[in-house]
């Protein structure tokens, strides 16, 4: 298994606008990118729902709207993800 970091490409537009009740990042354990994206999609917030509250177009499955990068132990020490929103 690998660890995957998923983030929006532009967190201020598209599925992430307005910003509230949305997920802005995931770290997922999966074999493949497709599996990682599917797992994130299943745990999404309002960014995966249409205006009527139904599950609609999904930005976690779309490489044009979200990134999905493999995490490794290589690199400098630091925080991998801090997902913070203040109202």
pLDDT tens track for 20-35 = 889 999 999 999 999 9
pLDDT band for position 76 (cuts 50, 70, 90)? confident
pLDDT of residue 75: 84
DSSP SS3 for 57: coil
**Residues 57-71: tens digit of each pLDDT:** 789 999 999 999 999
- State the CB neighbour count (10 A cutoff) for residue 30: 17
Q: Is the pLDDT of residue 52 over 60?
A: no
Tell me 33's DSSP state. H
Share of the chain above pLDDT 90, in %: 54
Q: Is the pLDDT of residue 10 over 90?
A: yes
> For residues 69 and 13, what is the distance between their CA atoms, to the nearest angstrom?
21
């Amino acid at each position: 298994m690998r660890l995957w970091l998923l983030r929006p490409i532009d967190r201020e537009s598209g599925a992430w606008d307005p910003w509230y009740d949305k997920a802005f990042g995931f770290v997922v354990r999966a074999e493949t990118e497709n599996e990682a994206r599917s797992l994130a999609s299943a745990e999404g917030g309002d960014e995966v729902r249409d205006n009527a509250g139904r599950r609609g177009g999904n930005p976690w499955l779309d490489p044009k709207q979200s990134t999905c990068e493999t995490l490794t132990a290589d690199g400098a020490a630091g925080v991998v993800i801090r997902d913070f929103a203040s109202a």
